[in-house]
Structure 1
Amino acid sequence: MSAQEATYLPLGDGDDHQLARVANFLGAFRAKKGEEPEPQYFLSGPNPSDHVPLPRQLHEILVQSVEALHSGKAVTIRPNEMQVTTQQAADILGVSRPTVIRLIESGQLDAERITRHRRLRLTDVLHYRDKKREEQLDFIASTSQHWDEEPSSEDFNRVRHAVAERKRKKQTG
């Protein structure tokens, strides 16, 4: 089986009960255990001895897929090369392609030029995304008195706008 992009739609009404059983199991497991112990995950075959351990990352992909499908969302699996285009980097970072170009030109992201196209290492893009997320969390924590829950996407949007406004003021002031 080759790695190809595929989108999976929520199951039909006949199969929805199977997806609900998996989602209910996952919810009950989290509720019962609180903090999850270091679990082991397996892909099993028809016989009890036919199984192979799954890495935690693959398990997390499956859990996210089940939760999305159960809530009526489609799931797309798209293999990425170790190098990405500026558009793919923009999609990963949640910004526009011109913003990625500016990040490259300002030296915040490394890129390699292949003919007239730029390619970025996927690990660099993911590292930049994680670094920015940490900076946003630090900013949120420093501007709030009490933070008891995980920041929401609205919190991140407010931080992005506040940082952008500060940059605009520095440039004009």
Structure 2
Amino acid sequence: MTQRKEAGAARGGFRRQRIRKSHGLSVIADESAYPYIGGQGEHAMASQVVQFAGLSDRDRKAVPHLPKLGEGDHLELHVRRRDGEEQTISLPPAAADVVEALLSRLLSGERVAVIAEHEELSPTEASIILGISRPLVVHRMEIGDLPFRYVGKHRRASLKDVLALKAQLDVQRKAMEALAADAEDLHREYGI
């Protein structure tokens, strides 16, 4: 990654980010190669890094798209080990939803990370997801917009709360964009 891209990623400069929640897990898709914070089975701290994963163009072309699963559809995972042993795992519907979301994002060329909803994030990590600065995240924590707890002297917010605030901020941003578009139309049509 170039220094310019690293600087943009460090400032939270994601180009595109989509979040889909399903049964306590969040599938976060992003085009950048910035590492995402989290750990399997434990609370996220700055030292634990889960990398975004993606498929190469060749791999994406080799794998057929999974058709949308319908009511009553059943998903099985077939595993062939190096030693030749094969195993088939039947996935419950909740897991099938997550696998379907994960595969659709990967096959569309996005990079993804799967993180448990109970994970805790530092203000810096939360700022990356929210697309706002770290000081603004701390401000949101202090005024009560983003619940948090202290771990020693460090603030930690749950991923669930960060995603809820992101949804709220996205609604506000869309409303502001609509107002700006209306203002442009008024100016263009009536000179106001």
TM category, shorter: 0.5 to 0.7
Specify whether residues 113 and 7 from structure 1 end up closer, same or farther in structure 2 by C-alpha distance, changes over 3 A only: closer
Structure 2 partner of 1:52:
90
Q: Give the letter for the 1:50 counterpart.
A: T
Specify whether residues 40 and 140 from structure 1 end up closer, same or farther in structure 2 by C-alpha distance, changes over 3 A only: farther
Determine if contact 2:55/2:107 at 8 Å carries over to the other structure: no
Specify whether residues 142 and 118 from structure 1 end up closer, same or farther in structure 2 by C-alpha distance, changes over 3 A only: same
Using the size of structure 1 for normalisation, the TM-score is 0.55
Between the two structures, name the one with larger relative contact order (CA 8 Å, sep ≥ 6).
2
Structure 1 partner of 2:61:
20
Q: Shift of residue 100 of structure 1?
A: 0.5
Give the secondary structure class of the aligned counterpart of 2:109.
Answer: helix
Q: 1:34-113 alignment to 2 at 5 Å?
A: 37-38=70-71, 40=73, 42-45=75-78, 50-53=88-91, 54-68=95-109, 75=111, 77=113, 79=115, 82-113=119-150
Specify whether residues 125 and 8 from structure 1 end up closer, same or farther in structure 2 by C-alpha distance, changes over 3 A only: closer
Give the secondary structure class of the aligned counterpart of 1:119.
Answer: strand
Taking only the aligned residue pairs, the percentage that are identical comes to 19
Q: Kindly report the root-mean-square deviation, in angstroms, between the aligned alpha carbons of the 2 structures.
A: 3.5
Determine if contact 1:104/1:111 at 8 Å carries over to the other structure: yes
Determine if contact 1:42/1:52 at 8 Å carries over to the other structure: yes
Q: Give the letter for the 1:59 counterpart.
A: E
Give the secondary structure class of the aligned counterpart of 1:50.
Answer: strand
Specify whether residues 64 and 143 from structure 1 end up closer, same or farther in structure 2 by C-alpha distance, changes over 3 A only: same
Where does structure 2 lack aligned partners over 5 or more consecutive residues?
1-38, 41-48, 81-86, 183-192
Using the size of structure 2 for normalisation, the TM-score is 0.51
Determine if contact 2:149/2:157 at 8 Å carries over to the other structure: yes
Specify whether residues 96 and 59 from structure 1 end up closer, same or farther in structure 2 by C-alpha distance, changes over 3 A only: same
Determine if contact 2:102/2:112 at 8 Å carries over to the other structure: no
Larger-gyration structure (1/2): 1
Determine if contact 1:43/1:51 at 8 Å carries over to the other structure: yes
Determine if contact 1:5/1:76 at 8 Å carries over to the other structure: no
Q: Give the letter for the 2:104 counterpart.
A: V
Where does structure 1 lack aligned partners over 5 or more consecutive residues?
31-35, 70-74, 146-173
Task: Looking at secondary structure, tell me which structure has more helix per residue.
Answer: 1
Determine if contact 2:105/2:112 at 8 Å carries over to the other structure: no
Q: Shift of residue 119 of structure 1?
A: 0.8
Size of the aligned set, in residue pairs, is 126
